[in-house]
Amino acid sequence: MESTPSPRGVLDKDVSRLDVDGTFSVTWTHRLRFTRNVLDPDNSLIDSLIPAQPRPIRVLSILDSGLVEAQPTLVNQLDRWLTPRAEQLVPAGPPLILPGGEQAKTGWDAFEQTAQAIAKGHVCRQSLVLIFGGGAVLDAAGFAAATSHRGVKVIRLPSTTLAQGDSGVGVKNAINAFGTKNFLGTFAPPHAVVNDTSLLASLDDRHWRGGLSEAVKVSLLKDPDLLQLIEQNTQPLLNRDLQTMEDVLIESARLHLDHIVNGGDPFENEEARPLDLGHWSAHRMEAISEWQLSHGDAVAIGLALDITYATKIGMLPEAKAQRVIECLRALGFLESTPTLDDPDTLLQGLEEFREHLGGQLAVPLVSDIGVATEVDEINMSAMRDSIRDLRETIS
């Protein structure tokens, strides 16, 4: 009679009693708040998010240099907000200002400065790090905070539309390393995300519209009503009406949060990442342009490309794709870009996406507005045609 082979091979001693699988789960509350003027001394939103402590806690503030340049009174406002709270909150050193934009994530500088400020300021796991900035500063400083003392408490205060409606709401951080975007990073849910929409007033037009392409993306995947809201308000959005932007960002952030909380895979252990519509090419275009193309602008082109492809393979009716392309145009997206000139270089983005997913391609697409689906292979000739068509459409 044949015996079943042991998974350990042949051992001269029975060690199976050492096999112990302990399952545990950790409950996490993902807190997302919207406000205006969070640093008004009377605004108690941040106070309400700090757990009651018997002793004062140390607070390290980190700010994006682009935000500080555009809103020079912010550091004073922070000071004025902290002063009446001196019995509960002790500043852990002067505010740290990190260079804003992709440079924050390129190399170790911002990471090191943050970790050093945490060390010098004696920030511990009971302390609080407040990070004000765009997605890049949130990513770099968030990565340092997540790995210092194996993770200190962070409140993210995203200051771009893209970060308020999308990236800041997530649970990831990263820096670019070894030539690869987001190569080093962790999944580390922040203690809270506070979206102060008054921070958005000083954005340039490109970053003001940035969050709208992610909002269109999530509407295509999950919520036709959000697309309608955006379509009906393209003019106020273009004219920088804050209230309309808030309406869109609240919905976009809510859908992103819902995906993290109820999607069943907050730490992306499964291969599928269904919120990445349009992103395989967007990431590639950002790299080809050497980061001249913003993430928001690249995502808009990536969305237009993927829905053009979806019509070519008969998945999405052409009129629906046209409707989305018109909406993106009306929002100021889809300017002509040399990143579409060479389809082969762009198509390498699919390979990178496959590698990023761990070998098996899973490209999110839509079969209708609000109806997400996923394909595990791409018809290269149809995708090449889609790139050419799109290039003509937007030239």
Ligand X SMILES: NC(=O)c1ccc[n+]([C@@H]2O[C@H](COP(=O)([O-])OP(=O)(O)OC[C@H]3O[C@@H](n4cnc5c(N)ncnc54)[C@H](O)[C@@H]3O)[C@@H](O)[C@H]2O)c1
Residue linked to tokens 């990536």: 302
Question: Residues 235 to 264: which contact ligand X by CB under 6 A?
Answer: none
Q: Does 139 bind ligand X (CB under 6 A)?
A: yes
Among 203, 218, 227, 357, binds ligand X (CB under 6 A): 203
Q: Does 136 bind ligand X (CB under 6 A)?
A: yes
> Residues near 281 by Cβ (< 8 Å), separated by ≥ 6?
298, 301, 302, 305, 306, 346, 349
Q: Does 101 bind ligand X (CB under 6 A)?
A: yes
Going residue by residue from 66 to 95, which x/- string records binding to ligand X, judged by CB under 6 A? xx--x-------------------------
Among 61, 147, 167, 233, binds ligand X (CB under 6 A): 167
Please give the Cα distance from 151 to 159 (Å, whole number): 23
Annotate 231-293 with DSSP letters as a single string: HHTHHHHHTT-HHHHHHHHHHHHHHHHHHHHHSS-TT--SS--TT-TTHHHHHHHHHHTTT-S
Tokens found for residue 204 = 């340039």
8-state DSSP, 126: T
Range in contact with ligand X (rule: CB under 6 A) among 46-54, 82-90, 155-163, 302-310: 155-163
Please give the Cα distance from 333 to 212 (Å, whole number): 9
Among 160, 195, 234, 308, binds ligand X (CB under 6 A): 160
The percent of the chain in helix, strand and coil, each rounded to the nearest 5, is 50, 15, 35
Tokens found for residue 253 = 């952030």
- Closest approach of Cβ 363 to ligand X, in Å? 18
Among 64, 196, 251, 297, binds ligand X (CB under 6 A): 64
- Closest approach of Cβ 17 to ligand X, in Å? 43
Q: Does 210 bind ligand X (CB under 6 A)?
A: yes
Going residue by residue from 12 to 31, which x/- string records binding to ligand X, judged by CB under 6 A? --------------------
- Closest approach of Cβ 278 to ligand X, in Å? 12
Q: Does 134 bind ligand X (CB under 6 A)?
A: yes
8-state DSSP, 51: P
Please give the Cα distance from 369 to 111 (Å, whole number): 40
Q: Does 165 bind ligand X (CB under 6 A)?
A: no
Among 35, 43, 198, 202, binds ligand X (CB under 6 A): 202
Among 127, 159, 195, 219, binds ligand X (CB under 6 A): 159
> Residues near 204 by Cβ (< 8 Å), separated by ≥ 6?
none
Q: Using CB under 6 A, list all residues that contact ligand X.
A: 64-67, 70, 100-102, 105, 133-137, 139, 159-160, 162-163, 166-167, 170, 172-173, 199-200, 202-203, 207, 210, 295-296
